[in-house]
Amino acid sequence: MPFSGKNTSRRGGNTSCTALDIDGHFIVFDCGSGLLQFYRENMDLFSNDYNLDIFLSHLHLDHIIGLSMFPPILSKEGNIQIFTRSRDDRPLAEQVFGIFRPPYWPVEFSKATKVKTIEITGEDTIDLSSSITVTPFFTELHNKTSVFKVNAEKTLVYLLDYEIKENYSRNDELIRFCTGADLVIIDASYLPEDYPSRRGWGHSTFEDGIHLANSCGCKKMIFSHISQEYSDDVLDSIENGLDATRFSFAYDGMVIKL
């Protein structure tokens, strides 16, 4: 959950949200509480007609909670598309916005929003423009997580809530999926010594990430979705022992130019 504390002030405040700017074409991966920071830093984007493509890795609350206070969701302006897999028989909009309704929220978002929800039915490439494509890769776990690879002038892989050790049957495919990426953003929720007691929870470690990076040859890797039980000082200490040109832990407001 979103959390504020003196020991996690840089790395623990918001839940997952990553915004990708490709020459003014914005793509957002997951809508955790960090979505509000993206909105506040890009107010000009939402002042005129605009297009925004959102890809949700899955529908756990920490990955959609930012939608609750994201003004464009209820605006009549602009064009927002949300891409994700279907989890049950309900209309996709009800799956995405289902928690945001009385008695849990004052407005029933699925009926009030004009946002277009688009079901990802397979691992076929999605063309967002003539020069931007997004390719999904599916987990075998119960939360139906999707991994995403963006190809434009550079290649980015977004790999959160993916448990490498529990998806072992697809690891060779994952390595090929990530091969040659300029940047991989990977789930590293738990430290290796804590992982055994959380196996099966849908998360990985930074050591899993390093192994993947060495196997796929990605240029840079960011460890994200870190459990808030680990302080900034602990993560700083680990990061100081890594190759700084290639590996780092995510922090709020982090900006990377590819």
Distance of CA 204 to the CA centre of its chain: 14
Q: For residue 89, is pLDDT > 90?
A: yes
Q: Tell me the pLDDT of the chain averaged across its residues.
A: 94
Bridge partners, residue 18, by sequence: 29
pLDDT at 1: 82
187/222 Cα distance (integer angstroms): 9
pLDDT at 71: 94
Buried b (16+ CB within 10 A) or exposed e, 130-154: eebebbbbebebebbbbbbbbebee
The two three-digit tokens of residue 54, written as one number = 């959102």
pLDDT at 146: 96
60/152 Cα distance (integer angstroms): 28
Q: Options 3.90.950.10, 3.30.465.10, 3.60.15.10, 3.30.70.330; which CATH number does 6-249 get?
A: 3.60.15.10
Domain ranges of the chain: 6-249
pLDDT at 37: 92
At position 197, the amino acid (one-letter code) is S
Q: Among residues 68, 79, 81, 83, which one has the least CA distance to residue 123? A: 83
At position 53, the amino acid (one-letter code) is D
Q: For residue 141, is pLDDT > 80?
A: no
pLDDT digits (tens, 9 = 90+) for 161-188: 999 999 888 999 999 999 999 999 999 9
Q: Do the Cβ atoms of 119 and 136 come closer than 8 Å? A: no
pLDDT digits (tens, 9 = 90+) for 56-83: 999 999 999 999 999 999 998 899 999 9
108/99 Cα distance (integer angstroms): 9
15/224 Cα distance (integer angstroms): 10
Q: For residue 47, is pLDDT > 90?
A: no
pLDDT at 3: 81
Q: For residue 10, is pLDDT > 90?
A: no
Q: Among residues 167, 173, 170, which one has the least CA distance to residue 202? A: 167
pLDDT at 130: 94
